[in-house]
Chains A and B, each alone.
Chain A
């Protein structure tokens, strides 16, 4: 039977068989795309190594969760749902587009396996998908043009607005949908006119609407529309394909790989150079990232993959308080630099491009607290902390360290703590514990089952010593056999490493590892999430490390801690997730469970800003010494969130959080309305040992 309309593969244009043209378009399109990709891969080939061809199971699981299941998209609900529609639309319609391409030179081509019932089901599915994507594209365009969500704005210092590119791509997607619909509908309309309708259409789909529009169109017109729609689809498809690698839509190609190769272990820091162990560091010519080519290939892939969605910067506390850092533009600026240095046509830039003083500023890179909110949010698995650390390693290597950080670094080098206090006074806090609790000292040859790793701030800061003293009393009450290293302990080096001073970190690590192992302790407990993270993620071959909240929870559940009944009215509290306990170590629940077991407290949440969306207090360790440019303190933003949640008490489980939150309460003028307290102190106040404790630590026990 003659076809109702001449199909593209059988048509002639000006006497030339159209199939030649329709064969040429994909050949040229694919050829160009391959050429562009080859050029785009060039910087990755010159990049630093990155050890990611491993842990296939975990990587496939990440692909399933983040890429296929789009797990992080609904965190921004409307944009996320729209993206999911477009994403699945692409997957579903991709098959149809491939089929169309081949139909240009193979008549009656059907994708293998797409005949019969499967074909009919697929046709219905792709029509639904096309309709859904069409609606989504419309809403996306309205959002971009009318509602203009703030996170898409491009501040003047970061260049031009990205809306035109977004709208152009939405236009390309709409063109693909419409031309596919018209191609099919023109044929169906012609068949219907002859009573030879091959199959029905679901109502409210694009072909359905077009068939109704074209029902009385003359056959010549339908023929023309059929071929024109085909040609438009074919050209748009390959134009779009080749356009992808020139902007934020490159993620359509790279996202699968980016998620597959993403960082699997939160809280860790990449080695200075993959393939070089700690002993080999001295032989490296240069440290860290100084030029674009010093980035690892995965970090370059990150730059290609950034979809410019702005979620990282929307959640970035540094960006929020007006520090000169926006993670989104860390990626976008590097991507633009990469495109300039490695153009698709023409010579590759030969000169090295220093990054600091080029696309990045020193203060920009020091502004990051490494809280991890950006990475937690990125739907594509782009990483920032390792890049910040690598850039800082480069700056440290070149001596570019702010004076405000040089003093504490020098003090850590000389005395093992950032204030330069005397080593022999490191354990002095233990003299003020009271409550019948004596702290054992490994340094004096005493033995204990557990080692309490106190770290610098809790050892030396007058206020934070109260955390150590409270923790010691609670451990004593719970029957934990523990001791401290005293002057044998040095700073854990957690921020030393994250501020780029790798060699100093290595020497601290070696010292502490030796001291800890010499104690013979079977496990380690710490009240400081930064120390917790360092000992767990940065150190090796240590006994198991636990945070105080886990130890206290276990003791409470086992009935080893007797609590006094609440004397006062019930107080409303919030728990503030420290970045290095929560996001970086996923310890969200034990501290909450401890609070919930304490009498006299009603716990509420800072909804939308808790757990993995916790808002950084301002940063710990060396960040306390850095003097950032900012409009407001992060801690002030945070205590206002606690106030808005109705809290009178903000419970932290980190000494640095406590420093920042207590300061912020004063700065925000919330004294008397809001109190910050460490979890250990909170538990200590509730212990059923009405002895001299309240005088020993100078607290009235009013919490």
Chain B
């Protein structure tokens, strides 16, 4: 089975202190470190495991600038055979639909049986997977945390639903799945692994290579436009407890008792 996994380079939320820029156009990016979006990492691990079981190969694609190459390389060090950089000045500022358009063109250029993407990105809206499936007119399942490959170009997939219960579905290939964290335990990629793939050529495709109409992607084609980033004003009713840890704890217990939260 040939699998395409869509990955994204995001600010690493675990390792950054995220602050909004005073002008509200973005977050402060000077001191950020980036990594592959966590959900995407699970998707790549799952793709590698499926390919190990059933044969075939895994391709990792990202829409981004030259900086994004590091995450593609990291996922190749994990075990993906091919990388694909979808890079073009025309892609900048694309909204979710624009990204899906670009990915659709990349899918069309290959012979993929399955496309995986993360359920959402740390800095995203969780929309690209579904839009990509719609544009391709392929079946789509979201928040998948279990995949079995069945005979006859089918998958049995599992999704976690309310209360930790599981749902099982069958889906025809080719399809798009968005992957939930916890589906597997992604393998570790060390510096040594990355160095091993450091000199592997990663094709870079732009709008022309993909046969994309530049007017359908990029900032100008956005149908959703970001207006502002801000920290919400502290709401009324919030109370910051002051004092030593002991005093705060005592006050908290009093409050919980007073509001009936503690009996």
SS class, residues of chain A in contact with chain B: helix
Q: How far is the CB of A413 from chain B (nearest CB, A)?
A: 7
> Which chain A residue shows the least CB distance to B77?
A399
Say yes or no: A420-B188 contact (C-beta < 8 A), given A399-B193, A411-B14, A411-B15: no
Question: How does the 8 Å CB contact mask read for B8-19 relative to A, with 1 for contact and 0 for none?
Answer: 000010111100
Q: How far is the CB of B56 from chain A (nearest CB, A)?
A: 20
In contact, A503 and B195 (Cβ under 8 angstroms) = yes
In contact, A396 and B190 (Cβ under 8 angstroms) = yes
Q: How far is the CB of B206 from chain A (nearest CB, A)?
A: 29
A688 to B35, CA, bound (A): 50
Choose one: A398, A405, A420; the contact of B15 (CB below 8 Å).
A420
Chain B contacts for A400, CB-based, 8 A: 187-188
A674 to B173, CA, bound (A): 64
- In the complex, whether B31 has a CB less than 8 A from a CB of chain A is yes
A204 to B191, CA, bound (A): 70
Interface centre among B15, B16, B31, B187 (most CB of A within 10 A): B15
Choose one: B33, B192, B193; the contact of A415 (CB below 8 Å).
B33
Q: How large is the interface on A (under 10, 10 to 19, 20 to 34, 35 or more residues)?
A: 20 to 34
- In the complex, whether A242 has a CB less than 8 A from a CB of chain B is no
- In the complex, whether B111 has a CB less than 8 A from a CB of chain A is no
A504 to B78, CA, bound (A): 16
- In the complex, whether B185 has a CB less than 8 A from a CB of chain A is yes
- In the complex, whether B189 has a CB less than 8 A from a CB of chain A is yes
Chain B contacts for A409, CB-based, 8 A: 188, 190
In contact, B12 and A397 (Cβ under 8 angstroms) = no
Choose one: B14, B17, B187; the contact of A399 (CB below 8 Å).
B187
In contact, B191 and A507 (Cβ under 8 angstroms) = yes
- In the complex, whether A410 has a CB less than 8 A from a CB of chain B is yes
- In the complex, whether A282 has a CB less than 8 A from a CB of chain B is yes
Number of B residues near A (Cβ < 8 Å) is 19
Choose one: A397, A411, A424; the contact of B190 (CB below 8 Å).
A397
- In the complex, whether A175 has a CB less than 8 A from a CB of chain B is no
Q: How far is the CB of A529 from chain B (nearest CB, A)?
A: 26
In contact, A414 and B193 (Cβ under 8 angstroms) = no
In contact, B15 and A287 (Cβ under 8 angstroms) = no
> Which chain B residue shows the least CB distance to A417?
B15
- In the complex, whether A340 has a CB less than 8 A from a CB of chain B is no
Chain B contacts for A681, CB-based, 8 A: none
A411 to B16, CA, bound (A): 10
Chain B contacts for A396, CB-based, 8 A: 188, 190
Interface centre among A399, A400, A406, A409 (most CB of B within 10 A): A399
In contact, B188 and A406 (Cβ under 8 angstroms) = yes
Choose one: A287, A420, A501, A504; the contact of B33 (CB below 8 Å).
A420
Chain B contacts for A410, CB-based, 8 A: 12, 15, 35
Chain A contacts for B31, CB-based, 8 A: 422-424
Chain A contacts for B187, CB-based, 8 A: 398-401
- In the complex, whether A702 has a CB less than 8 A from a CB of chain B is no
Binding site for A on B (CB under 8 A): 12, 14-17, 31, 33, 35, 78, 185-193, 195
Q: A282-B192, A503-B192 are in contact. List 17 more A-B contacts (CB 8 A).
A: A281-B192, A399-B188, A399-B189, A400-B187, A405-B188, A407-B14, A411-B14, A414-B12, A415-B33, A419-B15, A420-B14, A420-B15, A421-B15, A422-B31, A424-B31, A503-B191, A507-B191
Give the top 7 A-B pairs by smallest Cβ distance, nearest first.
A420-B15, A399-B187, A401-B188, A503-B191, A414-B33, A503-B192, A399-B188
24 residue pairs bridging A and B, Cβ less than 8 Å apart: A287-B192, A397-B192, A397-B193, A399-B78, A399-B188, A399-B189, A403-B186, A406-B186, A406-B188, A407-B14, A409-B188, A410-B15, A411-B15, A414-B15, A415-B33, A420-B12, A420-B14, A420-B15, A422-B16, A424-B31, A501-B190, A503-B190, A504-B190, A504-B191
